[in-house]
Structure 1
Amino acid sequence: MNLKIGLELLRKNYRESILLIMESAGEILAARMKAHIEKHKNEYIGALRLVPGKQLLLYVHSVQSWMWNEAARMHILKNCANVRELAYSEGKFVFPRQAVGNLGIPLVGFGSKPENDEIWRSLAGIMEEHDISPRDFIFRELPELSLEGGERELLAEVKGYKLVEAGRDELFPGKRKVKLEFSLPKGSYATIVVKSVLA
C-alpha cells in the first residue's frame, strides 16, 4: 500500500492518495481526514497535513526504494547467469550467486542526473510505465516531501558475519531458527542480508 500511496502522491493525485491512506489508516486519522475534506470542500493538502510528516515521507521514500530495487534486479539479471529470486510484496529480489561488480544506483529525486546508461534506461522505463519523472519529486504544496535524490551502492560489505545459533524454534513449534550476527554500513538493510542468506 505504501508504494501505491507514494506513486499517487508523486503524480499529485492527492484525492486518490487520501483515499488510500484512509483505507490503511487507523479509524481516528481516517475520520479526521474525512471530516476535513467534508468541511473544507475537498481541500486535499490540509487533509494530507493531518498525516504525520514522517509517514507521508515514508510513502515517497517507498517509491525511491522500489525503483532502486527494480533497477538493481534488472542489472543483476542482465549481468549474472546464476541468481536466486525471492518474491516480496512489490516484486522480486534477485541475489547473485557469482561475483558481480559494485556500482552506485540512483535513488531517484528531482536532482537526479543520468550517469550509468544501463541503469538510467531501466529507471527511465520504470518511471515512464508509472507516469512519473524526477521532477515529480518536487512538492510545491508539501515542500517537506521534496527529495533531491542520491545514490546507494549495489553491494554492501557485511562485517563480522557469524552464525551464532541454529536449531529448533521454541516460539514456533515445528519450525527451525537461526541467529546471525553481523554489521553493515549506514543505509544498508539487515533484512536484505538475511534474505540473501536464506534465498
Structure 2
Amino acid sequence: MKIKEKPEDFYVKEIINLDKKKEGDLFRYFLMKKENISTINAIKIIARKLHISKRKIYFAGEKDKNTISEQYICIRNFNDFREEYNFGNVKLKYVGSYEEPLKISDIDGNYFRIVIRDLNNEEIKRFKDNIEIFNKYYFNYFDEQRFGSRLNNHIVGKYLINRDYENAIRIILIDYNNENNIKAIEARKYLKEHWGDFKNALSLFPNYLDIERGILGYLIREKNYYRALKYIPKRLLKMYIHSYQSYLWNEELSYILKNNNCNSKINNKIQELYICKDNIEKFMDKKLELIGFDMKNKNFHKDILDREGLKIENLYNKDKPSLSLYSTERYILSEVKDVDYKIKNNIVIEFILGKGSFATIYIKHLFS
C-alpha cells in the first residue's frame, strides 16, 4: 500500500469557526491553499512575495509537505491587500479582518480525504476488518510528522533538555538521514567528518538551509553553542522539546498497552507502538499525562525517566524558560467522525479528526 503517492492523494482542510473572532482591522485573515510544500516554507514564500517580515504572519497549525492542504493564516498590519494571491503552489483567498491573531486553540478539527494506492488482497481484507474496529476511535499516538522531516527532532529535544547544547547543534547540522537534497547531504557529511571546520562547511551548505547557515556563521565568530540557539526560531526550538515530549508519551502509552495484552502493532519508523483491537472502550475518556516538570504523578513516570536518564529538575530550564517542558494531559483515544470510504482499485477514505490527532496514525490502524 502507498499513501501520499501524489500530493492530491492527501487532502486536508483546517476547520476553524471565524464567527468566534472579534472583527477589526489589525489582522487580515486568508485561507491558504498549498501544494507539495511545508507550512513554514509556504510562509517564507508569502513573506518574500509580499515584501513583509515573516514575523507578521500567524498560523494555527502546521500541515505536511506532501499534501494539498487548506489552512488559515493572518497578517498583522496589512492594509494594502488584494482579495486573492497566486504564488504558484501557494494561493491565498481573503476571508475577513479581525482584532486578534490565529492561535492553535482556534482549530476545531481537520477534514481529510486520502487515497490509498497499490493494495494487495490481504491489505484490502485487513482494511475491511479494521474499519469495523476503528470506525469511531483509535489510539492517539503522535506520528512521524511530529519528529521532523529527518525524524530527529526528538533527539535534538533530548539534548536541549539535558543542556547538552553542542550535541543539539551537532544533530541539527550534520544529521543527513532522510535528507533528499544531494548538496545538503554532502554539506552535512563534510561537517560530520570535519566537526569544528565551520568556515568551509558554510560554503557548502545550500542557501535554502538558512537556519543552519545562520548557526554556522555565528560559530565561525564564536564557538558558543548555547548562544548559537538564538539563530533558531523560537517556534522551532519549542518544537524540538515538544517532539521529545511526544516521543516519551508514545513510549509510555505503548508500554501500557503492551502490558494490557494488546499485541497488535502499527508500522512506525521511530519506535514500537502497540494497539488493542479488543475492548478498546476500556480506554474511553482516559488521559495519559505528558511528562513535564509540573506533572502531578511523578512516581508513575519514574520508569521512563530512569530509562531515558532524565532528571526532573532538568525539565525546567531556569536560564531559558521557553525550553522547559510543561505537563499536560492527552486522551489515549482519539475520536474519528464522519468516516466514509470507497473501495475500487484504490481506497478513498474521508473523515474528520480533532486538533492534534494524526490522520496517518489512523490509516496505520486500518492496516495493522
TM-score of the two chains, using structure 1 as the length reference: 0.82
Contact in 2 for aligned 1:110/1:149 (Cα 8 Å): yes
Q: Please tell me whether residue 63 in structure 1 is matched to residue 240 in structure 2.
A: no
State the match for 1:107 in structure 2.
Answer: 290
- Residue aligned with 2:272, SS: strand
State the match for 1:96 in structure 2.
Answer: 276
Of 27-36 and 98-107, more deviation after overlay is shown by 27-36
Separation of aligned partners in 1, 2:309 and 2:166: 17
Per-residue deviation, 1:186:
2.8
Of 141-150 and 1-10, more deviation after overlay is shown by 141-150
- Residue aligned with 1:94, SS: strand
Q: Please tell me whether residue 31 in structure 1 is matched to residue 213 in structure 2.
A: yes
Q: Please tell me whether residue 80 in structure 1 is matched to residue 261 in structure 2.
A: yes
| Alignment gaps of 5+ in structure 1 | 169-176
Measured against aligned partners, the alpha-carbon deviations of 1:134-192 in whole angstroms (never above 9, x if no partner) come to 432322333222231101011122221221x3333xxxxxxxx3222222233322221
Q: Please tell me whether residue 178 in structure 1 is matched to residue 347 in structure 2.
A: yes
Computing the radius of gyration from Cα coordinates, the structure with the larger value is 2
State the match for 2:6 in structure 1.
Answer: none
Change in 2 beyond 3 A, CA 1:48/1:167: farther
Contact in 2 for aligned 1:76/1:96 (Cα 8 Å): yes
Q: What percent identity do the matched residue pairs reach?
A: 25
State the match for 1:162 in structure 2.
Answer: 340
Per-residue deviation, 1:107:
0.9
- Residue aligned with 1:30, SS: helix
Measured against aligned partners, the alpha-carbon deviations of 1:44-87 in whole angstroms (never above 9, x if no partner) come to 22211101222111111111111111111111111135x32124
State the match for 1:145 in structure 2.
Answer: 323
Q: Which of residues 228, 231, 235 is equivalent to 1:50? A: 231
Across the aligned residues of Structure 1 and Structure 2, the Cα RMSD in angstroms comes to: 2.1
- Residue aligned with 2:335, SS: coil
Separation of aligned partners in 2, 1:124 and 1:161: 39
Q: Please tell me whether residue 124 in structure 1 is matched to residue 306 in structure 2.
A: no
The residue identity in structure 1 corresponding to 2:249 is W
Separation of aligned partners in 1, 2:291 and 2:312: 6
Separation of aligned partners in 2, 1:194 and 1:49: 38
TM-score of the two chains, using structure 2 as the length reference: 0.46
- Residue aligned with 1:180, SS: strand
Separation of aligned partners in 2, 1:197 and 1:141: 45
Aligned residues: 183
Separation of aligned partners in 1, 2:311 and 2:357: 25
TM alignment of 1:5-16, pairs within 5 A: 5-16=156-167
Per-residue deviation, 1:9:
0.7
Separation of aligned partners in 1, 2:343 and 2:315: 44
| Alignment gaps of 5+ in structure 2 | 1-151, 177-183, 185-204
The residue identity in structure 1 corresponding to 2:244 is V
Of 127-136 and 63-72, more deviation after overlay is shown by 127-136
Contact in 2 for aligned 1:160/1:181 (Cα 8 Å): yes
State the match for 2:61 in structure 1.
Answer: none
- Residue aligned with 1:157, SS: strand
Separation of aligned partners in 2, 1:142 and 1:195: 37
- Quick check: which one's strand share is greater? 2
Measured against aligned partners, the alpha-carbon deviations of 1:96-142 in whole angstroms (never above 9, x if no partner) come to 11013222111111111218x7xx2xx32222122113432322333
Separation of aligned partners in 1, 2:155 and 2:227: 20
State the match for 2:199 in structure 1.
Answer: none
The residue identity in structure 2 corresponding to 1:110 is F
- Residue aligned with 2:231, SS: coil
Per-residue deviation, 1:24:
4.3
